[in-house]
């Protein structure tokens, strides 16, 4: 068991600080642009804009998407022969390739969850900034406005679905699919082969993470589709591994 924990920590150390750096930079830019958009709104109008409009003016969702792309360029390459050379160390630890894929999948999912949590934290900080700035200008703001904001903006609703369970299931399914697909990509690249599963997973994250606020059927269909893709990817990978053993 100790060697498996060592493998997991190897993958975590390979990407953790890079992911934290991207997450912190993205969050800081989102808060800064939100603040600037809020200040501009107050100085150019006697009425304060609703938070949802400030988030849109501050390009919060766009920067969140760019940050996700950056994370997606980091995690698949933590297992390749670069830097710390995890694949070489896997051989020294005598861990099977399948175990390596499993533990890298766990690490990848953890990195994606860290980024998700950082995005949620950045948005909540923006809400606090909105409260503080409007208080300075003595503009009365009802706290219910934030509840409405997370229900009306698709990106914010994806980050904090409240009691919308379908969105929670969709987020979990896409995170799992992306983490496993990135690990499979790493394994394929080590063999000099390609895999398009992770590119598809990232595309789904970018296109479908903004949650539908009108119809849960969209989220349910997405969950079913992602689970089907995940099962298919695992089946294909497993069949290839079995064929390699037979050769």
- Of 62, 64, 60, residue with least CA distance to 52: 60
Give the pair of three-digit tokens for residue 217: 């059927």
Report the alpha-carbon distance of residue 87 to residue 80 in Å, rounded: 6
- What is the per-residue DSSP string for 82-102? STT-HHHHHHHHT--HHHHHH
Residue 3 has pLDDT above 50, yes or no: yes
Look at residue 81 in the predicted model and tell me its pLDDT: 45
- Which range of residues forms the domain containing residue 28? 2-246
- What is the per-residue DSSP string for 168-236? HHHHHHHHHHHHHHHHHHHHHHHTT----HHHHHHHHHHHHSSPPSS-HHHHHHHHHHHHHHHHHHHHH
Pick the more confident residue, 188 or 35. Answer: 35
Give the mean pLDDT of 23-42. Answer: 93
Give me the number of domains the chain comprises: 1
pLDDT in tens, 177-210: 888 888 888 777 766 666 666 667 677 667 666 6
pTM of the shown model: 0.84
User: How far from chain centre, in Å, is Cα 190?
Assistant: 24
- Of 41, 206, 67, 44, residue with least CA distance to 123: 67
- What is the per-residue DSSP string for 118-154? HHHHHHHHHHHHHHHHHHHTT----THHHHHHHHH-H
Pick the more confident residue, 95 or 47. Answer: 95
Give the mean pLDDT of 93-102. Answer: 74
- Among the ranges given (70-74, 78-82, 203-207), the one the predictor scored with the smallest mean pLDDT: 78-82
Residue 140 has pLDDT above 80, yes or no: no
User: Is residue 205 within 8 Å of 68, Cβ to Cβ?
Assistant: yes
Residue 240 has pLDDT above 70, yes or no: no
- Of 208, 185, 178, residue with least CA distance to 110: 178
- Of 7, 227, 2, residue with least CA distance to 96: 7
């Amino acid at each position: 068991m100790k060697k498996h924990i060592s493998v997991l920590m190897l993958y975590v150390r390979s990407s953790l600080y890079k992911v934290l750096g991207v997450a912190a930079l993205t969050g800081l830019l989102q808060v800064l642009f939100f603040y600037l958009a809020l200040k501009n709104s107050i100085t150019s109008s006697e009425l304060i804009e609703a938070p949802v409009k400030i988030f849109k003016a501050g390009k919060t969702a766009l920067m969140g998407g760019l940050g996700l792309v950056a994370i997606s360029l980091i995690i698949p390459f933590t297992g390749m022969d670069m830097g710390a050379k995890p694949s070489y160390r896997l051989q020294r630890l005598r861990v099977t390739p399948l175990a390596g894929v499993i533990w890298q999948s766990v690490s990848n999912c953890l990195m994606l969850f860290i980024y998700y949590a950082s995005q949620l934290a950045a948005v909540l900080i923006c809400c606090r900034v909105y409260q503080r700035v409007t208080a300075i200008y003595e503009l009365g703001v009802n706290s219910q406005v934030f509840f409405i904001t997370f229900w009306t903006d698709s990106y914010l609703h994806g980050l904090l679905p409240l009691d919308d369970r379908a969105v929670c299931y969709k987020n979990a399914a896409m995170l799992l699919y992306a983490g496993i697909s990135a690990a499979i990509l790493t394994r394929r690249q080590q063999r000099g082969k390609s895999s398009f599963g992770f590119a598809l997973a990232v595309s789904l994250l970018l296109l479908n993470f903004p949650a539908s606020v009108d119809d849960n059927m969209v989220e349910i269909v997405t969950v079913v589709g992602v689970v089907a893709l995940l099962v298919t990817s695992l089946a294909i990978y497993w069949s290839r591994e079995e064929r390699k053993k037979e050769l």
